[in-house]
């Protein structure tokens, strides 16, 4: 709704050219369709539209020409009808991309987490699901389905839900996020700028922030050498493109900021890493890099829950996918059987149909 207000504000100006910068990043599919209809009407009225997006399918749906810029340099301009996704991606990353979702086979073990009859009045309704060690478990659903609310509640951000949470066969109680971290549940927010990072601080400071007591030396002073060494390690391990660990996060690209968010979570040594929209607002190359990081982590034994609005991402990376609707789980699919059509059918059907 905030995004639609921002768009409405732009339309009040008597403009000849309107620049849309990632306008659909926070929109539902219905709102995207409404926006595209508005853009179509503006074109008919003779306005010029500059449309910036990482979502290539949108470029092919509404644009006439497409220009690729990489690392601050002009690369190419093509008529949309004369190119395809693979050509654009090759221009964007400087090479051909063979695999957008480099999921490696990981050893999936015994049940690690079980949630039973989880309930939060007004948000979540009698939710039960399980998670196995080494698994990438996806959560799909339309905007407002309750996926983020469920994970934030499990991690103690709301502190008012009821139900049973079993970790490694033992019931746990999570009253706040400190309890969640102590039990090995670590959450990476969908909004890294608002909830994930302090962008005016350095990479090393962001990574150390959730556990400053571990970086404290004598008299409670921060051990800056240890902080720097940790920052340098994650710059190398996660592939953050920055000159040094004291580099300000504000000066990083969206993809590298997201890598800092993930590094900050990994430094807590989680048993379960919850990634909420892990590739939102990052370019194609950074998406592939983040997917590779996720795949490598599961091979090392980490267990991951992934929330994503991009169905190809869920299908390409997850072992199982739960579908949520209106605060309840409407369906579950194994990797071998799932399709976009099946997910959307369950996500759109009525509650009566889903329970049948």
What secondary structure does DSSP assign to 153-219, as a single string?
HHTTSS---EEEEEETTEE----SHHHHHHTTEEEE-S-IIIII--TTSBHHHHHHGGGGGGGB-GG
As a whole number of angstroms, the distance between CA 341 and CA 88 comes to: 26
| Helical (H) or strand (E) element with 245 | none
In this prediction, residue 176 carries a pLDDT of: 92
Q: pLDDT tens for the chain, 356 residues: list them.
A: 787 788 888 888 888 999 998 888 767 777 888 889 989 988 998 999 999 987 888 899 999 999 998 767 899 999 999 998 888 877 876 755 555 677 778 889 999 999 999 998 778 999 999 999 999 999 999 878 899 999 999 999 986 788 999 999 999 999 999 999 999 999 999 988 888 999 999 999 999 999 999 998 778 899 999 999 999 999 999 999 999 999 999 999 888 999 999 999 999 999 999 999 999 878 777 888 899 999 999 999 999 999 998 888 999 999 999 999 989 999 999 999 998 889 988 887 745 444 43
Q: Domain 111-355 carries which CATH code?
A: 3.40.50.300
In this prediction, residue 356 carries a pLDDT of: 33
In this prediction, residue 352 carries a pLDDT of: 44
What tokens were used for 281?
Answer: 């607002």
- Cβ-contact 204, 246 below 8 angstroms: yes
What tokens were used for 85?
Answer: 């996704």
- Domain ranges across the chain: 2-93, 111-355
Q: Domain 2-93 carries which CATH code?
A: 3.40.50.300
In this prediction, residue 254 carries a pLDDT of: 87
CA nearest to 151, candidates 187, 180, 112, 125: 187
As a whole number of angstroms, the distance between CA 300 and CA 240 comes to: 20
pTM of structure: 0.76
- Tell me whether the CATH fold assigned to 2-93 matches the one assigned to 111-355: yes
Rounded to 5 degrees, φ, ψ at 7 are -65, -45
């Amino acid at each position: 709704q905030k995004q639609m207000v921002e768009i409405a504000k732009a339309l009040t100006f008597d403009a000849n050219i309107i620049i849309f910068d990632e306008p659909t990043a926070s929109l539902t599919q219905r709102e995207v369709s409404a926006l595209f209809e508005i853009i179509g009407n503006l074109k008919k009225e003779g306005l010029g539209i500059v449309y910036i997006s990482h979502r290539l399918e949108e470029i092919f749906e509404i644009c006439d020409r497409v220009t690729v810029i990489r690392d601050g340099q002009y690369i190419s301009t093509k008529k949309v009808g004369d190119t395809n996704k693979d050509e654009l991606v090759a221009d964007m990353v400087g090479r051909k991309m063979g695999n957008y979702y480099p999921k490696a086979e990981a050893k999936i073990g015994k049940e690690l987490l079980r949630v039973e009859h989880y309930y939060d009045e007004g948000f979540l309704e009698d939710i039960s699901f399980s998670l196995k060690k080494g698994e990438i478990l996806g959560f799909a659903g339309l905007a407002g389905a309750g996926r983020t609310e469920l994970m934030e509640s499990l991690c103690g951000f709301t502190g008012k839900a009821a139900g049973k949470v079993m970790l490694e066969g033992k019931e746990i109680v999570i009253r706040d996020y400190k309890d969640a971290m102590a039990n090995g549940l670590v959450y990476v927010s969908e909004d890294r700028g608002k909830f994930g990072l302090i962008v005016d601080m350095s990479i090393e400071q962001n990574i150390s922030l959730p556990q400053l007591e571990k970086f404290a030396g004598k008299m409670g002073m921060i051990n800056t050498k240890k902080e720097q060494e940790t920052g340098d390690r994650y710059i190398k391990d996660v592939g953050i493109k920055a000159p040094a660990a004291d580099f300000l996060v504000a000066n990083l690209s969206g993809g590298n900021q997201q890598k800092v968010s993930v590094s900050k979570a990994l430094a807590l040594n989680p048993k379960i890493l919850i990634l909420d929209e892990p590739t939102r607002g990052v370019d194609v190359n950074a998406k592939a890099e983040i997917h590779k990081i996720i795949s490598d982590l599961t091979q090392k034994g980490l267990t991951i829950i992934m929330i994503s609005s991009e169905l190809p991402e869920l299908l390409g990376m997850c072992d199982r996918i739960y579908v949520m609707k209106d605060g309840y789980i409407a369906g579950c699919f194994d990797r071998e059987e799932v399709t976009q059509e099946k997910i959307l059918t369950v996500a759109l059907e009525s509650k009566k149909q889903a329970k049948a």
